[in-house]
Amino acid sequence: MNPIRKKRLLSIFFVFLFSVSGVSLILYSLNSNLDYFFTPSELKEVDIPPKKRIKIGGMVLEGSVDRNASDISFTITDYENSIVVLFEGIVPDLFKEGSGVVALGYLNDEIFYAEEVLAKHDENYMPPNLDIEK
């Protein structure tokens, strides 16, 4: 093969190698950092390892909010199944019983330990997958 061609081929090969490894690194880190979203009913059907960070969305069950010192516990429900959530900290302004909420955290022994609790800024917000029932 002539030397110029050889050089060009080699550089193309390296560019290709770098791009492929770069993209696969990005995809790998994307895959290991995804937060899956479940409703309480969907949660019943899947098996989630305790170290996997997930999101749970639904409505705050009426009468389930229990504050204790700086902890708060409440139940997220989709009116078929529900799950108890524990959270330490201040819940957002729009958090209230009977309205939509999304919690981010870890599931352990049927209890959800939330790191973050989000209520939507829009007062008409409905968590995804729930808008049909109501």
Partner 1 sequence: MIVEISHFLAIISTALFFLAGLFALTIKNTFYTTNLISKTFSHAFLFFSASFFIYIYLAITDDFSVQYIANHSNSALPIFYKISSIWSAHEGSMFLWIFFLALWGFIFNIFIKNTEILKPKTIGIISLVIVGFLLFLLITSNPFVTILPIAPVNGADINPVLQDPALAIHPPTLYLGYVGFVIPFACSMAFLINNDASVKWESLVRKWSVMAWIFLTIGITLGSWWAYYELGWGGYWFWDPVENVALMPWLAATAFLHSLSVSIKSSHLRTWTILLSISVFSLSLFGAFIVRSGIIDSVHSFANDPQRGLYLLAFISVIILISLSLFISRFSLTRTHRSIKTLSKESFISINNIFFVTLIFSIMLGVTYPLIYEYFYDQKISVGAPFYNAIFIPIVILASIFLFFSIESKWSRSIDLKIFINPIFISLILSFVATLIVFINLEKINVFILLSIFTGLLIIFRYLIEIWNSFVYKKYLNPFSAIAHFALGLLLVSISLNSLLSSERALNIKINEYEEYEDLNIYFRDLNLVKGPNYDSVKANFFIEDENGKSFNLYPEKRRYSRRGQITTETAIYITPFRDIYLTIGDQLEDGSWIVNIQINFLIRWIWFSAFLMAFAGVVLISSKRKV
Q: Is 51 in the site for partner 1 (CB under 8 A)?
A: no
Question: Among 4, 50, 123, 134, which residue interacts with partner 1 (rule: CB under 8 A)?
Answer: 123
Question: Among 12, 89, 131, 133, which residue interacts with partner 1 (rule: CB under 8 A)?
Answer: 89
Q: Is 62 in the site for partner 1 (CB under 8 A)?
A: no
Q: How far is CA 14 from CA 7, 68, 86, 97, in A?
A: 11, 60, 51, 58
Q: Is 129 in the site for partner 1 (CB under 8 A)?
A: yes
Subset of residues 11 to 30 that bind partner 1, contact rule: CB under 8 A: 22-23, 26-27, 29-30
109/127 with CB nearer partner 1: 127
Q: Is 111 in the site for partner 1 (CB under 8 A)?
A: no
Does residue 57 contact residue 99 with C-beta atoms inside 8 Å?
A: no
